[in-house]
């Protein structure tokens, strides 16, 4: 990991940059497998760069934002997707016949998921916000703010199937804050997810007795 933190123009601009590379061995992958939880081991790599800035070009007017570029990959991952009912059942039966701590995959043909992306790891995401302080004298301060966020597609499970996919999306939040002159009292009015975009919060696989369905729930609406 290598980073740099910088301030310019009498602290009116802050710019931080960080680059990283991680090489994981035996990284634990915790999976919800029907009514049980399963832990697999995998090798993976992650690399990317993060940039964040905060600027106040004139008193009261502030801009801030972040940009994250990331590339992730499983370099070695052999596992059975719980959605594959037949393979998973056969593997469980064979695993129960083994002595403890022996490999659970003798002859039940786990799939090689090497090359897949890690979970919750979009290749690109960025945000930008702007706010402005309106000074009202003895009536305090009024600060409107607008923030925009964009994210490329990502996956909620390591198997990267189409039903694991979260498509790219964007979201706008707006906020209006009033502060008393002493800043001991403040009121905040806001609308999050102005576009009312439907974004997954998580995706998992249900019980095999029900056909191993994908189960998903959404993040907050507008």
* Length of the chain measured in residues: 222
State residue 100's pLDDT score.
Answer: 46
Residue 145 in tokens? 């703010």
Average pLDDT over residues 153-161: 94
CA distance 34 to 75: 26
Above pLDDT 90, what percent of the chain?
70
| Angle, vertex CA 18, rays to CA 17 and CA 24, nearest 5 | 165
CA distance 160 to 183: 48
State residue 75's pLDDT score.
Answer: 96
Pairing mode of beta strands 124-132, 141-151: antiparallel
State residue 92's pLDDT score.
Answer: 56
Sorting pLDDT into bands at 50, 70 and 90, what band is 111? Answer: confident
31 pLDDT exceeds 70? yes
> Which has more confidence, 85 or 33?
33
CA distance 77 to 174: 42
Average pLDDT over residues 26-42: 85
CA distance 158 to 137: 55
210 pLDDT exceeds 80? no
The least confident of 105-114, 174-183, 195-204, 211-220 is: 105-114
Contact 130, 62 (CB under 8 A): yes
State residue 104's pLDDT score.
Answer: 47
Pairing mode of beta strands 134-135, 111-112: unpaired
Q: 69 CB contacts (<8 Å, ≥6 apart)?
A: 48, 49, 123, 124
Sorting pLDDT into bands at 50, 70 and 90, what band is 114? Answer: very high
106 pLDDT exceeds 60? no
| Closest to 121 (Cα-Cα) out of 22, 34, 25, 195 | 22
Sorting pLDDT into bands at 50, 70 and 90, what band is 9? Answer: very high
């Amino acid at each position: 990991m290598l980073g740099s933190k910088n301030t310019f123009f009498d602290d009116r601009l802050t710019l931080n940059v960080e680059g990283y590379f991680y090489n994981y061995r035996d990284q634990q992958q915790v999976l919800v497998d029907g009514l049980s939880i399963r832990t697999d081991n995998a090798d993976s790599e992650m690399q990317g760069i993060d940039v964040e800035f905060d600027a106040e070009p004139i008193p009261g007017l502030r801009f801030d934002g972040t940009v994250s570029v990331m590339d992730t990959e499983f370099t070695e991952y052999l596992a059975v997707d719980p959605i594959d009912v037949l393979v998973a059942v056969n593997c469980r039966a064979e695993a129960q016949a083994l002595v403890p701590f022996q490999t659970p995959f003798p002859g039940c043909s786990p799939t090689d998921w090497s090359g897949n992306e890690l979970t919750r790891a979009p290749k690109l995401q960025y945000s930008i916000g702007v706010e402005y302080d309106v000074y009202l004298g003895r009536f305090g301060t009024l600060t409107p703010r607008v923030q925009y966020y964009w994210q490329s597609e990502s996956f909620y499970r390591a198997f990267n199937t189409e039903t694991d996919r979260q498509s790219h999306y964007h979201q706008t939040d707006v906020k209006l804050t009033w502060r008393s002159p002493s800043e001991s009292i403040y009121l905040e009015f806001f609308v999050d997810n102005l576009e009312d975009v439907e974004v997954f919060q998580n995706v998992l696989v249900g019980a095999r007795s029900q056909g191993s369905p994908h189960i998903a729930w959404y993040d907050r609406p507008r």
